[in-house]
Amino acid sequence: MGLLKRALALFEIMNEKGINPDVVTFTSLISAACKSGKWEETVRLFRNLIDCGALPNIVTFNSVLDALCKDGKTAETLNLVEEMLLRGLKPDLVTYNSLINRLPFRAMERGHEVVQ
């Protein structure tokens, strides 16, 4: 069993026992999903985090942004940046690096508009 599957299984056990995961737990799972190339799982976990009432931090957003950028999900990436800004989080160096290094050149203008 891969590490992501094992982590998700442990996450399910936590839920079954009534242990509410915090932002650190979710961010760890999101990061693992991103590193496994599972952008859909990354987004699902991110939405689950929000549905549970946990507040995503900049590290959480950066992990999801990286997964979306890696898979070429330009519109979704820029929408997530807008959501991050609406939540009062400012892009950091990791955010900008992901956007600059992974977004297609044609999306740079919109990316620039979003972060300003």
pLDDT per residue as tens digits for the range 42-61: 999 999 999 988 899 999 99
- pTM for the predicted model, two decimal places: 0.83
pLDDT tens readout for residues 51-107:
988 899 999 999 999 999 888 898 999 999 999 999 999 999 999 998 888 776 555
Structural domain boundaries, residue 41: 3-115
Please compute, for residue 36, the number of CA atoms within 13 A of its CA located in the half-sphere on the CB side.
Answer: 18
CATH of the domain at 34: 1.25.40.10
Token digits of residue 106 = 């044609």
What is the number of structural domains in the chain? Answer: 1
